[in-house]
Amino acid sequence: MIVEGANRNCKILTDHSYKNVGDLIPTRKVIFITDDNVYNHYPDFFQAHPHIILPAGESQKSLATIESLYRQLLDKKIDRHSFIVGFGGGVITDITGYLASTFYRGVPFGFIASSFLAQVDAAIGGKNGVNLDKYKNLIGTINQPSFVICDTELLQSLDQEILKDGIMEALKHFAIRDGSRFDWLMNNKQAILNKDDTILKELVKTAAQIKVDIVNQDENESGIRKLLNFGHSYGHAIEKLSGLSHGKSIAIGMQMAGKLSHQLGYCNKEVYLQLCEAIKAFDMPINSDLPFASLIDVIAKDKKKVDASIDYIFLKNIGQASIERIPLTTLSSLRNI
Ligand SMILES: NC(=O)c1ccc[n+]([C@@H]2O[C@H](COP(=O)([O-])OP(=O)(O)OC[C@H]3O[C@@H](n4cnc5c(N)ncnc54)[C@H](O)[C@@H]3O)[C@@H](O)[C@H]2O)c1
């Protein structure tokens, strides 16, 4: 799979061992960026490769981290002829992408995506960046890495809850683009949760392919790429207010987006219920106790809104969605059905 970016093409490699990352890097000075969790699972790899370790977690996605990393890169004599590899989940790939895109106005870089979410979503598509205060991903660029290694062997060390979080993004990809894959996901639920490598490989390939196809049509998110935001308006608000994980928040957000789609006549009730059943099958929540009005307050400040409207993703069928510009007030009209 290739992402055809404005600046460069990016190879998405689902059959390349992370141990052979050296094959992809020109003979240049290389530095790996990772987090302490990933480091502790793969110490042998890092002992053989120069690296910088960050504490794990979303709180690292800040300009303060970036500034500290710039200084560490200078100390290590990394320059624009060097190569930077982010080895980790979406937090590390977002940080590394922004760091490499801005240091010396752009140092070549690549990713070893080590979480399921990073392999099917976060590491693919060239978006990178950090948070500012409470605003998620407010600072960033769109710049493709040279490669993304999505080696499912790495998923064997991933915590089960974190795997399920990532599966919500794959479920979302299938819900908006591929109904038969959505059914396949349900039929293979147990094998996926058991981390059967053959099934995980097929899942990563097919879910990543959907993201690649969409990004290749709209790298800058002026149109079809917005489909990937299905469930994310309510979901990001829930994540911000509840502190629930991204996957759980998006699971609830998708339920709410599905319900609104039914309520406004975009899909029938069976489609909405099928979506809910799929989320629950992975033991993820579909409801939140948060006051609805507080979610709407947060959405009203969403960076994706355009004046008093928002481009919202409605589910039309399992495997089919559409983008509609609606007044923000429409999001307040969600009711119980
Ligand atoms: N740029 C994009 O297009 C995009 C898209 C979706 C999400 N994101 C971002 O991705 C981030 C979430 O990504 P995430 O869920 O991967 O979070 P994460 O990077 O925090 O990883 C989750 C946890 O898994 C651990 N981990 C990662 N790989 C592991 C492995 N192989 N074995 C054991 N533990 C491992 C990490 O150390 C971390 O503790 C968010 O910041 C989100 O904003 C970006």
The CB of 167 under 6 Å from ligand 1? The reply is no
Residues 10-33 pLDDT 10s: 999 999 999 999 999 988 899 999
Residues 120-131 pLDDT 10s: 999 999 999 999
- β partners of residue 309: 306, 327
Residue 29 · residue 78 · CB < 8 Å: yes
Q: State whether 84 and 199 are in the same domain.
A: no
The CB of 162 under 6 Å from ligand 1? The reply is yes
Q: State whether 315 and 168 are in the same domain.
A: yes
Residue 170 · residue 160 · CB < 8 Å: no
Instruction: Give the residue, by CA position, lying nearest to ligand 1 atom 33.
Output: 158
Closest C-alpha among 266, 248, 302, 291 to residue 258 = 266
Q: State whether 148 and 213 are in the same domain.
A: no
The CB of 91 under 6 Å from ligand 1? The reply is yes
Identify the CATH number of the domain in which residue 81 sits: 3.40.50.1970
The CB of 61 under 6 Å from ligand 1? The reply is yes
Q: State whether 120 and 265 are in the same domain.
A: no
Residue 318 · residue 172 · CB < 8 Å: no
Task: Please give the Cα distance from 295 to 285 (Å, whole number).
Answer: 17
Ranges in the chain, pLDDT < 50: 337
| 277 belongs to a structural domain | yes
The CB of 246 under 6 Å from ligand 1? The reply is yes
Boundary (domain end) residue, out of 157, 192, 227: 157
Ligand 1 pocket: which of 60, 99, 117, 128 to mutate (most atoms <8 Å of CB)? 117
Q: State whether 175 and 145 are in the same domain.
A: no
Q: State whether 88 and 132 are in the same domain.
A: yes
| 337 belongs to a structural domain | no
The CB of 110 under 6 Å from ligand 1? The reply is no
How far is the centre of ligand 1, averaged over its atoms, from the C-alpha of 212 (Å)?
19
Q: State whether 147 and 204 are in the same domain.
A: no
The CB of 113 under 6 Å from ligand 1? The reply is no
The CB of 158 under 6 Å from ligand 1? The reply is yes
Instruction: Give the residue, by CA position, lying nearest to ligand 1 atom 7.
Output: 122
Closest C-alpha among 144, 151, 168 to residue 257 = 168
Instruction: Give the residue, by CA position, lying nearest to ligand 1 atom 37.
Output: 37
Which atom of ligand 1 is nearest the CA belonging to 97? 1
pLDDT on residue 325: 93
pLDDT on residue 303: 67
Average pLDDT over the chain, rounded to whole? 95
Boundary (domain end) residue, out of 119, 134, 157: 157
Q: Which helix (H) or strand (E) holds 276?
A: helix 269-281
Q: State whether 82 and 188 are in the same domain.
A: no
Q: State whether 56 and 79 are in the same domain.
A: yes
The CB of 245 under 6 Å from ligand 1? The reply is no
pTM here is 0.95
- β partners of residue 325: 311
pLDDT on residue 252: 97
Q: State whether 142 and 168 are in the same domain.
A: no
The CB of 140 under 6 Å from ligand 1? The reply is no
Q: State whether 139 and 26 are in the same domain.
A: yes
How far is the centre of ligand 1, averaged over its atoms, from the C-alpha of 93 (Å)?
8
Residue 128, domain extent: 2-157
Boundary (domain end) residue, out of 126, 157, 188: 157
Q: State whether 153 and 183 are in the same domain.
A: no
Exposure pattern of 206-237 as b/e (b: 16+ CB <10 Å)?
bbbbbbbebbbeebebeeebbbbbbbbbbbbb
Residues 255-302 pLDDT 10s: 999 999 999 999 999 999 999 999 999 999 999 999 988 998 888 877
The CB of 58 under 6 Å from ligand 1? The reply is yes
* Domain total in the chain: 2
How far is the centre of ligand 1, averaged over its atoms, from the C-alpha of 113 (Å)?
9
